[in-house]
């Protein structure tokens, strides 16, 4: 054993701070000792101090050699100069470190995994308690006694500072606590604009004027400024970009052909590079009413015109037997009409002129068929007002080309094709041909007056007023 004593590898120390200890009794001389504890021990002391007079020897292949670690399940020789104790020292876990996210990190995802590093000086198995929250220091334990050095977190709030710490524990009840770490989650991801909506013309609308202002509405979740690309054409989907990066939520499209289906869409873009493509919408410009381009009534064929949601006859009604302008039309079995200046040729061009009661066939219910064909009726005042609003109150769009001059010159963009037919006055005379036209509504104003729409040859206004029922005006029928 003298040769063995010449190898010194493990220093016997006396420590002032003992975290945990196991003890083995030793006697003077050489002692064979077993495992001191259930873990690897690399620091020991004696009680009383200084009684160990040799290094520790353990058997390995080839013989005994000095050992600087006592390992569970193995035997060792050591020499003491008197009876006493060998005490094994347990150390607390190392302080948890290397957090992820890093302390003070910003822009952290709201779905992420917390992780850290930790080990034990004695290689004791470790478990962890994790504290997490928005309080500093965090008081809520979100996991207890877990063995992993990570834990997932999701559904965190955006733009929020979170605090966390880790308590490491060994099997002997000794602990180490990290400092408080913190990180801030990312701001909410910028959202794309809401899809454009509230369009005009409405999707599938028919009878739209060949000059139309497309309109829509659009918002952005973060109120980012928006611009728009507008696509328009007769292809579905439309491939032609007619406007780029405009800020207005409207676009004027003119010069369209009558009776044609047009398609359009809007792409909304914010200033963060996001965009939202709108649906493809369609409308049909004013033209013959779908499925009923003409109507034959009492031996005469009338064209139809779709304006907005209403289907109209494109010509003034010309039905009945002509009577002289000096006579009143009467309630008999015959529809009676006036022709301007008592000239039948004028009825061929301008249609007949009718007193209100004759046109209504002596009824007073608004929307009555009156002298119109079956399935059609004399328009109410509201329907005439809708006609005016559909053309944006532009009387010129209702007038045939060549009717009116200057600011009252007809453009007929609606296809309504109104002519300045004049009127038969209550005195039996005929007036205002080439200057005015008047259309009866089926809405009366008191017992003696009916309401009318009138157009002039000198301005673009639509006028609504009432006049005596015994005056002769035009009738333009509207589909039920």
Mean predicted lDDT score pLDDT of the chain: 91
- In angstroms, rounded to a whole number, what is the distance separating the alpha carbons of residues 278 and 265? 6
H helix or E strand, kind and range, residue 284: strand 281-285
Q: Mind listing the pLDDT tens digit for each residue in 267-321?
A: 999 999 999 999 999 998 988 998 999 999 999 999 999 998 899 999 999 999 9
Mean pLDDT over 360-369 rounds to 98
Contact 431, 425 (CB under 8 A): yes
- In angstroms, rounded to a whole number, what is the distance separating the alpha carbons of residues 60 and 16? 33
Q: In the structure encoding, which two tokens stand for residue 290, read together? A: 């779908």
Confidence at residue 11, expressed as pLDDT on a 0 to 100 scale: 36
Confidence at residue 37, expressed as pLDDT on a 0 to 100 scale: 57
Count other Cβ atoms within 10 Å, centred on residue 25: 11
Confidence at residue 413, expressed as pLDDT on a 0 to 100 scale: 87
Burial 48-67 (b: 16+ CB within 10 A, else e): eeebbebbbbbeeeeeeebb
Q: Mind listing the pLDDT tens digit for each residue in 91-108?
A: 899 999 999 999 999 999
Which of 59-73, 146-160, 242-256, 387-401 shows the lowest per-residue confidence on average (mean pLDDT)? 59-73
- In angstroms, rounded to a whole number, what is the distance separating the alpha carbons of residues 318 and 475? 8
Per DSSP, what are the bridge partners of residue 363?
none
CA angle 311–199–275, rounded 5-degree value:
150
Q: Mind listing the pLDDT tens digit for each residue in 27-45?
A: 999 998 876 555 555 567 7
Confidence at residue 160, expressed as pLDDT on a 0 to 100 scale: 97
Which of 14-28, 112-126, 350-364, 439-453 shows the lowest per-residue confidence on average (mean pLDDT)? 14-28
Q: What percent of the chain has pLDDT over 70?
A: 94
- Report all structural domains of the chain as residue ranges with CATH numbers, in order of start: 2-89 (no CATH), 97-185 (2.60.40.10), 197-284 (2.60.40.10), 294-479 (no CATH)
343: confidence class by pLDDT, cuts 50, 70, 90: very high
Contact 365, 444 (CB under 8 A): no
Residue 7: pLDDT over 80: no
DSSP 185-203: EPPPPPPPPPPPEEEESPT
Measured distance between the N- and C-terminal CA atoms of the chain, rounded to whole angstroms = 124
DSSP 8-state symbol, 333: S
Specify the 3-state DSSP secondary structure of 390: helix
Confidence at residue 19, expressed as pLDDT on a 0 to 100 scale: 39
Contact 251, 212 (CB under 8 A): no
Instruction: State the virtual CA torsion across 371, 372, 376, 380 in degrees, nearest 10.
Output: -60
Taking the CA atoms of the chain, what radius of gyration do you get in angstroms?
Answer: 50
Residue 229: pLDDT over 90: yes
Mean pLDDT over 219-238 rounds to 96
Q: In the structure encoding, which two tokens stand for residue 364, read together? A: 């007073």
Specify the 3-state DSSP secondary structure of 265: strand
Q: In the structure encoding, which two tokens stand for residue 151, read together? A: 């834990």
Task: Name which residue leads in pLDDT, 87 or 436.
Answer: 436
- Distance set, CA 79 to CA 4, 82, 160 (Å): 12, 9, 63
């Amino acid at each position: 054993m003298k040769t063995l004593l010449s190898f010194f590898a493990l220093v016997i120390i006396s420590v002032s701070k003992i975290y945990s200890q196991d003890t083995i009794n030793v006697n003077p001389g050489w002692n064979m000792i077993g495992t001191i504890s259930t873990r690897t021990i690399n620091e020991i002391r004696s009680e009383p101090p200084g009684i160990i007079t040799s290094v520790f020897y353990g058997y390995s292949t080839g013989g005994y050699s000095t050992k600087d670690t006592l390992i569970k399940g193995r035997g060792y020789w050591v020499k003491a100069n008197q009876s006493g104790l060998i005490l094994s020292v347990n150390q607390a876990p190392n302080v948890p470190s290397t957090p992820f996210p890093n302390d003070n990190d910003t822009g952290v995802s709201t779905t992420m995994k917390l992780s850290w590093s930790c080990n034990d000086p004695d290689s004791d198995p470790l478990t962890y308690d994790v504290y997490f929250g928005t309080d500093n220091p965090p008081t809520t334990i979100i996991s207890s006694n877990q063995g992993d050095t990570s834990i997932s977190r999701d559904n965190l709030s955006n733009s929020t500072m979170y605090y966390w710490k880790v308590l490491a524990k060994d099997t002997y009840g000794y602990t180490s606590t990290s400092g408080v770490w913190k990180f801030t989650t990312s701001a909410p991801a910028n959202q794309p604009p809401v899809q454009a909506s509230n369009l005009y013309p409405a999707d599938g609308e028919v009878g739209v004027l060949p000059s139309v202002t497309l309109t829509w509405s659009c918002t952005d979740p973060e109120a980012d400024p928006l611009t728009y690309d507008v696509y328009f054409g007769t292809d579905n989907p439309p491939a032609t970009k007619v406007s780029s990066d405009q800020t207005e939520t409207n676009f004027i499209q003119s010069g369209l052909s009558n009776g044609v289906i047009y398609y359009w869409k809007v792409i909304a873009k914010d200033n963060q590079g996001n965009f939202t493509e709108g649906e493809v919408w369609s409308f049909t410009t004013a033209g013959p009413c779908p499925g009923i381009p003409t109507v034959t009534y009492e031996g005469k064929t009338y064209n139809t015109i779709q304006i907005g949601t209403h289907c109209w006859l494109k010509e003034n009604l010309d039905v009945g037997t002509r009577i002289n302008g000096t006579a009143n039309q009467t309630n008999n079995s015959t529809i009676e009409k006036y022709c301007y200046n008592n000239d039948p040729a004028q009825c061929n061009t301008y249609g007949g002129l009718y007193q209100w009661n004759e046109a209504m066939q002596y009824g007073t219910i608004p929307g009555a068929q009156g002298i119109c064909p079956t399935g059609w009726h004399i328009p109410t005042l509201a329907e005439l007002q809708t006609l005016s609003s559909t053309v944006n109150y532009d009387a010129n769009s209702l007038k045939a080309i060549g009717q009116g001059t200057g600011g009252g010159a007809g453009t007929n963009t609606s296809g309504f094709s109104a002519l300045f037919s004049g009127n038969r006055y209550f005195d039996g005379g005929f007036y205002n041909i080439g200057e005015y036209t008047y259309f009866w509504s089926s809405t009366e104003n008191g017992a003696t007056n009916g309401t009318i729409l009138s157009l002039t040859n000198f301005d673009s206004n639509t006028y609504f007023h009432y006049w005596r029922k015994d005056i002769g005006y035009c009738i333009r029928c509207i589909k039920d």
